[in-house]
Structure 1
Amino acid sequence: MTQPKPMIVTLEIAADDMLFFQQLRDAHFPAHANYLDAHITLFHRLPGGEPAITDTLAKLAARPPLSLQVNGIVKFTNGIAYTLFSPELQTLHAELQTAFMPWLVRQDKQPLRPHITIQNKVTAFKAAQLHSTLLASFTPFAIQATGFGTWSYLRGPWKALQKINFNKR
């Protein structure tokens, strides 16, 4: 019997907000390595096919959408990401960590540092150039999180499994 592929959980954001980040990613992420859309990863490796995970996500989606503050641009060695701030998201993530504790890998046990990567796998020089360019005109702004996404990890690309929208039940 084949073992299910690991599951990734993302935070979905409003389509208009996503368009901004996707356009930057398309412009600045090397095409040969850009096989994912812009995204916010909440959990990197959960067991695929575990119904308690999707049940928990569905239960916690019974809430209004979240506002996130895009509060900075960070440069790492070979890329750039926009950083996000939301105390509400931190609380929600901690609740998910508690529910998912039996399955968490070390990376997913860490405090959440939400971000959206728009460039990676470039030289440090290219990353520094883009960081400087983007920072020159950056002003913090708000985006809206609309739900959770689940994905099957395929050793590179991801396959969409399910979107679970927030609602005000």
Structure 2
Amino acid sequence: MAEAGTGDAPLVLTAALDAEDAERLDALRREHFPAHRNELAAHVTLFHALPGERLGEVLDDLRSACRRPGFDVPVTGVRSLGRGAALVLEPGELARLRGELARRWQPWLTRQDAQGFRPHVTVQNFVDPAVARTTVADLSASFAPFAVRAVGVDVHRYLGGPWEHLHREEFDAPA
């Protein structure tokens, strides 16, 4: 669990992906992300900074919201981040889940979390824009749409760079 003094640190929520899918995305991240800056595994951020002191309420709400079967999330393309590259995800069911939670947590949302939701997986960041353009072009040239499987929601505590994993709330198994 959290170290002393970190209980109020912000919470980051990510879509939990099937292990094989997560490894596929993480391999791309390891290939393209500057190693000295790559402190995290590949991830799909749902919320960037929920109040850490609300952890109990967040977990309660997740238990309720995750009473649904897992679902596929289409990966539809490659997008430039200016100084990096990302894989674009179709919002679909992911956006419905996030929207349900955002309505519950509206008073707590930061400006970033209150903005529109554009799900993606960052596979490169913090590089020269020319390097990023080359990566986007290379990834785009070989890109074929595929899907990843969402299996739940992971809750992390933001610790100024690295994240501490606190909990995974899995979706109900399909009927």
The two structures have a TM-score, normalised by structure 2, of: 0.92
Partner of 1:29: 33
Partner of 2:158: 153
SS of 2:49's equivalent in the other structure is strand
Deviations along 1:51-100, one digit per CA (max 9) or x if unpaired, are 11111011111110021110010012100000000322211111110011
Partner of 1:83: 88
Residue type of the alignment partner of 2:34 = P
Q: Distance in 2 between matches of 1:129 and 1:97?
A: 36
Identity rate, percent: 40
**Unpaired segments ≥5 residues, structure 1:** none
- The size of the alignment, in residue pairs, is 169
Residue type of the alignment partner of 2:9 = K
> Over the residues paired in the alignment, what is the CA RMSD in angstroms?
1.4
Matched, 1:116 2:125: no
Kindly indicate whether the alpha-carbon contact (under 8 Å) linking 1:67 and 1:86 is maintained by their aligned counterparts in 2: no
Q: Distance in 1 between matches of 2:29 and 2:93?
A: 26
Kindly indicate whether the alpha-carbon contact (under 8 Å) linking 1:72 and 1:82 is maintained by their aligned counterparts in 2: yes
Q: Distance in 2 between matches of 1:40 and 1:7?
A: 14
The two structures have a TM-score, normalised by structure 1, of: 0.95
Q: Distance in 2 between matches of 1:89 and 1:34?
A: 25
Query: Alignment partner for residue 167 of structure 2, among 154, 158, 162?
Result: 162
Residue type of the alignment partner of 2:123 = I
SS of 2:41's equivalent in the other structure is coil
- Higher mean C-alpha deviation, range 85-94 or range 26-35: 85-94
Q: Distance in 1 between matches of 2:110 and 2:62?
A: 18
Query: Alignment partner for residue 57 of structure 1, among 53, 59, 62?
Result: 62
Residue type of the alignment partner of 2:50 = L
